[in-house]
Structure 1
Amino acid sequence: MQTPPTMTPAMELALTSNFGSKEAWLAAFLSTAAAATQPGSALLVFQPQTGALVHQWSPTASPAGDDEAVLLALGQEAFSATAIGDADAFMCSLPWDQVYERYQTAVHDATESLSAGHADIAGAVVLDVRRAGVFEKAPTKLAGSQWNDPATVGDWARDLPTDKEIVVYCVYGHEVGRVTALRLHAAGLKARYLTGGIDAWQAAGLTVEPKPLAV
């Protein structure tokens, strides 16, 4: 299945992290519609308390929780056999630019309290959570940091210490680092994201170290 041209890497990462892949997301989204027993819309919803994306079926196109953000809402007419017969075309027909904009806003609103400054690195467990492809090409990392794939945060979160401060960083401190910190925080960890990411860290003239040749 080709990646829709307007789906940003951060949005694809969000779908992968929550559903396994964008293909698995689509299958689950269609299943939500197929299982509906009343008129309504299938929703892709962001839950700010957990940082998770979930599916819901709603008769009003409103999410179950008052603080939840609807990223995508499709009425029953969108799920006709004709509309979804070609998975590639169906995925490409979705308004991914709008979905990402809503996701970006929701994530930023939910994570302002989890911001960590440069001085907060001292004594913390520092995790590099840049996307796999970005990390692979990067020549440097923060000193003493360890890379963890943000797409599989649900797998490695359980291995982190619960009694230590954790600071995660991505490139710019946007959705990747923020939502990873949010999901770790929801798991009971003392996690925050580095404001501005490694880009702002380097711009401030702070020290980085060469990245190992292999992860």
Structure 2
Amino acid sequence: MKVSTSEGRMTMQQEIAPIAVRPSTLNGISELMVVSHYENDYGNAVRTLNAVRRELAALDADTPPYRLRGLKREELSLMGSVALHELYFGNLGGYRRAGPNSGLGRPDWHEVPDAFASEIAADFGSASAWRREFVGTAQSLVGGSGWVLLTYSRRQKRFWNQIAADHTQAAVDAAPVLVLDMYEHAYQSDFGANATAYIDTFMRNINWETVLKRIKAARNDQPPPNEDPSVTTDIPSLSVEELAVQIANGSGVQIVDARQRNHMSRFVDLMAGATWRDPDCVEEWIAELTPDKPVAVYCSWGFDVGRNVTKTLIERGFDARFVRGGISAWYALGGARALRPAAGNM
């Protein structure tokens, strides 16, 4: 969250959170669908929330009550949408880490890990009973829309499955620990009208490690865990909002698109003002950079490649930073894009 001031009025500006899952590692859920969901639907929620907050900050004493009421309702719904999308992306990604098929077919194998089953046993009786209700709740939204949440009530010290419609209606003083998006934009491009297949596939892609960390924090009245994969103290970084300010201020920042060649060749665009550089050939192009100008390096999502290239540039004496969230975060912000050079010129 960032505070901005205009004409003496403070506005809380929501920043884009880097996507918390590597989209290419999911099983049965396409990278294209997840990235589109993040850049378009989540990004639109953040941008619209900030627009509503700017409108609220500009209101004066003569504003009609209905106008204030409408904006506050819209702000609440958008705040819920932003938070729930971030939690949804954060609890995806368990398929490759857990190796879920390693014991499939054996009597002691369980889709839901034992550590999670023990956490919810007192409130649902068993993991299978919890799963049956959670999946059934999701299926009840087929043809409609909404969110399905497993929440921990701090007031009642227990877990509940619940529906959150219109990004709101969340239980009071309850922490969502598992979030499933049942709006059609979350699954239609991969699954069409077959929402049941989407639900089943989601259950096979849950990052249970993240869910258990959320449960621990909720039970102990601690802040939710930081699920930003770009967080690091070892390599300098900047947010997409900070990069936008640098560009607008005419800092002369050199923007390096460091996406892998096999990734870059699948897309026709890149960040406006950026130059694609093959991360596998840093020594071949590093001399083309201006030594006394800052460098911003981005990859697809801000996980490894952008950091590695940035580290190499720093070791060669450049003032370099990697862009948290990569180009997907830039597009979610609504940042400008341009066509990449023809393949023969790459």
TM-score (normalizing by structure 2): 0.30
Structure with bigger strand share is 1
TM-score (normalizing by structure 1): 0.47
